[in-house]
């Protein structure tokens, strides 16, 4: 039985006070949720306070990025040990916004994946094609390149600790969503590729989430697909009631 994960990426939103308020509203409503893992990813400034609020609750904490060095003269960066100290269990790596605005590459994703595992953080590794790449029929080519490079040097033992999120770049923050069938097609491709690279056990057990304008009104159709193991939710996770509808699909 595969894991079902619903993760909320708050991006650059919410003060500490707002983050605490949101997590309290979520936490109070999750006692009856079974069969899925709930993860939230506040901005760095809110991690520690949110960690205190979710202690003993059915919510787990993720950071939105990390640097691959443990310490040093890297102004503005944050390391794996710092995230663990703040209470994180997960970290989002390679999000398309990091790739688009901050120069993230498949090679830096690989370094960050290794750093996360070294410090017992579960990477939620984002992959996805741009609109022009899909229109040129290059979706699978791009996805394969990202998977091969992002996990270069990894074996099955490392891959057991990985979560993948397929996020078509053209569907992030645009209001557009891949159809459930389009999403499932890519998920199946990724799963088959994982089987080729790392074996059947990894292919069948590694969670592959869908992200890209996930909302309460489209989550059911996505989750009815055979290869989709949950969602990485952006803007909709900032509204407690809407996010709860997604969690409880």
Which amino acids are annotated catalytic? 95, 167
d(CA 140, CA 72): 38
| φ/ψ (deg, to 5) at 35 | 80, 10
Please, are residues 241 and 8 in contact by the beta-carbon 8 Å criterion? no
d(CA 50, CA 2): 27
| Angle between helix 106-118 and 139-150 (nearest 10) | 40
Nearest to 153 by CA among 105, 211, 114: 114
- Tokens for 151, please give them: 């996990």
Residue position matching structure tokens 């909320």:
8
Please, are residues 164 and 209 in contact by the beta-carbon 8 Å criterion? yes
d(CA 46, CA 39): 14
- Tokens for 168, please give them: 């078509």
- Tokens for 238, please give them: 């900032």
- Tokens for 229, please give them: 């193991």
């Amino acid at each position: 039985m595969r894991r079902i994960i619903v993760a909320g990426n708050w991006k650059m939103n919410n003060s500490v006070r707002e983050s605490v308020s949101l997590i309290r509203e979520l936490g109070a409503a999750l006692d009856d949720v079974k069969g899925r893992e709930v993860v939230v990813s506040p901005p760095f400034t809110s991690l520690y306070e949110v960690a205190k609020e979710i202690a003993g609750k059915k919510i787990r904490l993720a950071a939105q990025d990390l640097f691959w060095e443990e310490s040093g003269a890297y102004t503005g960066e944050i390391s794996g040990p710092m995230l663990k100290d703040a209470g994180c269990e997960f970290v989002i790596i390679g999000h398309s916004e990091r790739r688009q605005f901050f120069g993230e590459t498949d090679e830096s994703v690989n370094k960050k994946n290794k750093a996360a595992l070294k410090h017992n953080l579960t990477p939620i590794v984002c992959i996805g094609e741009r609109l022009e790449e899909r229109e040129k029929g290059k979706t699978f080519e791009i996805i394969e390149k990202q998977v091969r490079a992002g996990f270069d040097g990894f074996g099955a033992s490392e891959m057991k600790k990985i979560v993948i999120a397929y996020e078509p770049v053209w569907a992030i923050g645009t209001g557009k969503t891949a159809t459930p069938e389009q999403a499932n097609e890519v998920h199946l491709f990724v799963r088959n590729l994982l089987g080729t690279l790392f074996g059947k056990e990894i292919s069948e057990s590694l969670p592959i989430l869908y992200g890209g304008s996930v909302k309460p009104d489209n989550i059911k159709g996505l989750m009815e697909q055979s290869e989709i193991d949950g969602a990485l939710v952006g803007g909709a996770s900032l509204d407690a009631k809407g996010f709860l509808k997604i969690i409880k699909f």
